[in-house]
Amino acid sequence: MAQPTRRLIIKSAAATVGAMSVAPQLLAQSAPVRIGYAMARTGPWTGGAQTSQEPNYLLWAEQQNAAGGLDVKGVKRRIELISSDDRSDVETCVRTYEKLMGSDKVDLVLPPWGSNANFAVAPLANRYQYPFLAPTALSRKLAEMKLPYFFLLLQQPKPMCEALVDMLKANGAKTLACIYVDDLFGLENYAALKVALQGSGISMVEDKSYPGGVKDLSPVLRSMKDKNPDAFVGFTYPPDTILASRQAKEIGFNPKFFYASVGTAFPLYKNVMTPAGAEGVLGMGSWNGKTSPGAKAYFDAHLASQKKEPDRWASGAAWAGLEILTAAVKAQGLDRKAIRDFVANTTHKTIIGDIKFAGSENVGTPGTVGQWQNGEFEVVWPKARATAALNANKPAWK
């Protein structure tokens, strides 16, 4: 059953003053900014949503309200978050946003978790003209839809796969095996990998798709082990990332380069695998506390407020998106068309570096590769973005 609607608002002392004693214009100014979203709190999306996304929304509202409210073109107004559980269900997600934007007419919306949910909701947000800064959508198709109100914060499949292949080639890999989840995320990344491999000198010795919710990957992992590839690449979601890692360890499949996708950069990964067991594992990641002073301040604030670490990939993008939205509202108020234009036409300074958009795509952040080293998920490629040098020979599983 879905959790009841959650509202977060810190009321000012002025709210206790009788309405008749306060000037009407002051009452209007002190009205909260109503910001709506749907988020997985139950179902298979929950791990990602509650690691990379909703904690950032809560932290942002907490920080803004503690400072007197969101700066709306010079007027501080408290944030009210209006949210509900989408139950990891696309239809529920779409219905929720339809209500938030169509009948509730909230001031702003924040995106749901994952490529599939964003793919379903993006056209709706565009129709209602709500700026949508999506931190967990990885889809070239979304960029190609040319929706002017929709912005993708994550690096997309092409730059991410190009960075991966560039790293493998530069470090002597000649063969690769790949698994990928049979959905939009997996299919697009697999296609981008095949293109990136062309002319690289790296051959794909085996590739295999698998259904979402898979419970056993050991047969395909055993087959790949027999081919002894230099690199394993998994375009996987958090449960599958951990499943593939555990089963690779069980069967002794330990290529020089072991790369999994969503969830590798989660603190959960090193906790489940143990820091020693995670050592040398590669994955999608783009930042950590060494990336910038702002990133370190954000990391510390997240840990203090949410009692857990952010992940080293999409959490940074989520916070960067909130930084961009904050700046847009400060400059443009709650005029959604003006916010959209500000987002589209500005180079934004964020904790993960400069972000700028070409259409819907973030072209300011290059493709990156991360790796667990001594309990931290370091950015290791490209070298210009690295927080640590690549370990080009994964140690044995522990």
Give me the pLDDT at residue 6, please. 47
Q: Are 231 and 167 in contact (CB under 8 A)?
A: no
Give me the pLDDT at residue 230, please. 98
Distance CA 298, CA 317 (A): 12
92: how many CB neighbours lie within 10 A of its CB? 19
Give me the pLDDT at residue 17, please. 34
Give the pair of three-digit tokens for residue 82.
């209006």
The C-alpha angle 250, 193, 189, rounded to 5 degrees, equals: 80
Question: CATH number of the domain at 6-155+291-362, please?
Answer: 3.40.50.2300
Burial of residue 125, with CB atoms counted within 10 A of its CB: 0-12 exposed, 13-18 middle, 19 or more buried: buried
Maximum Cα–Cα distance for the chain, whole Å?
A: 79
Helical H runs in the chain? 24-30, 46-52, 54-66, 90-98, 115-128, 140-144, 157-170, 184-197, 218-227, 238-251, 267-273, 275-278, 293-306, 314-332, 336-345
Same fold, 6-155+291-362 and 157-289+368-385: yes
DSSP state of 370: E
CA distances from 113 to 237, 260, 370 (A): 12, 19, 21
**Can you tell me whether residue 202 is helix, strand or coil?**
coil
The C-alpha angle 188, 39, 159, rounded to 5 degrees, equals: 25
Q: 357-358 and 361-362: which strand pairing?
A: antiparallel
Give me the pLDDT at residue 140, please. 85
Q: Are 241 and 263 in contact (CB under 8 A)?
A: yes
Distance CA 93, CA 37 (A): 9
Query: Does the domain made of 157-289+368-385 have the CATH classification 3.90.1150.10?
Result: no
72: how many CB neighbours lie within 10 A of its CB? 17
Give me the pLDDT at residue 155, please. 93
Give me the pLDDT at residue 2, please. 42
Radius of gyration of the chain (CA): 22
Backbone angles phi, psi at 27, to 5 degrees: -60, -40
Distance CA 352, CA 362 (A): 12
Total number of residues shown for the chain: 398
Residue whose C-alpha is closest to residue 280's, from 261, 262, 259, 309: 259
Give me the pLDDT at residue 13, please. 33
Q: Which residues fall within 8 angstroms of residue 173, CB to CB, at 6 or more apart?
A: 202, 230, 231, 256, 257
Q: Are 109 and 118 in contact (CB under 8 A)?
A: no
Q: Are 80 and 109 in contact (CB under 8 A)?
A: no
Backbone angles phi, psi at 301, to 5 degrees: -65, -40
Distance CA 309, CA 322 (A): 18
Domain ranges of the chain: 6-155+291-362, 157-289+368-385
Residue 392, amino acid: A
Q: Which residues fall within 8 angstroms of residue 75, CB to CB, at 6 or more apart?
A: 29
Give me the pLDDT at residue 12, please. 36
341: how many CB neighbours lie within 10 A of its CB? 15
Burial of residue 280, with CB atoms counted within 10 A of its CB: 0-12 exposed, 13-18 middle, 19 or more buried: buried
Element (H, E) at 208: strand 203-210
Mean pLDDT by 10 residues, the chain (398 residues): 43 35 47 98 94 97 98 97 98 98 98 95 97 93 93 95 98 98 94 98 98 95 98 96 98 98 95 96 96 97 97 97 98 98 98 96 96 97 97 96
Give me the pLDDT at residue 29, please. 52
Backbone angles phi, psi at 356, to 5 degrees: -140, 155
